[in-house]
Amino acid sequence: QVQLVESGGGLVQPGESLRLSCAASASIFRISTMGWYRQAPGKQRELVASITSGGTTNYADSVKGRFTISRDNAKNTVYLQMSSAKAEDTAVYYCNLRLMSANYWGQGTQVTVSP
């Protein structure tokens, strides 16, 4: 069983930065595609960013140029660097690990962007 533990959420002001981390318990991390998703109240969960085992990244249009996803295979950890935060970034952020048919989720971490 794979466990994903997110950290780094909290309250930030508009325009500020925040870094989320997600540590995976399994060595399959390094061959998996990792993603960050978010779900705002009353909305569906949406993909924010993803990174393949080879380092190819993909971003939602709403965060392009502001967020950066990266991974450290030696630490089994994926990061989401959030910059120029906006109120509409407020959501619960979830880490996701995907490998063929396997799909795992973290418990989520709250990010609130407010003055």
Q: For 3-48, what is each residue's pLDDT tens digit? A: 999 999 999 999 999 999 999 998 899 999 999 999 999 999 999 9
Answer whether residue 88 shows pLDDT above 90.
yes
Q: What is the 3-state secondary structure (H, E, C) of the chain?
A: CCCEEEECCEEECCCCCEEEEEEECCHHHHHCEEEEEEECCCCCCEEEEEECCCCCEEECCCCCCCEEEEEECCCCEEEEEECCCCHHHCEEEEEEEEECCEEEECCCEEEEECC
Average pLDDT over residues 53-74: 97
For tokens 């249009």, the residue is: 61
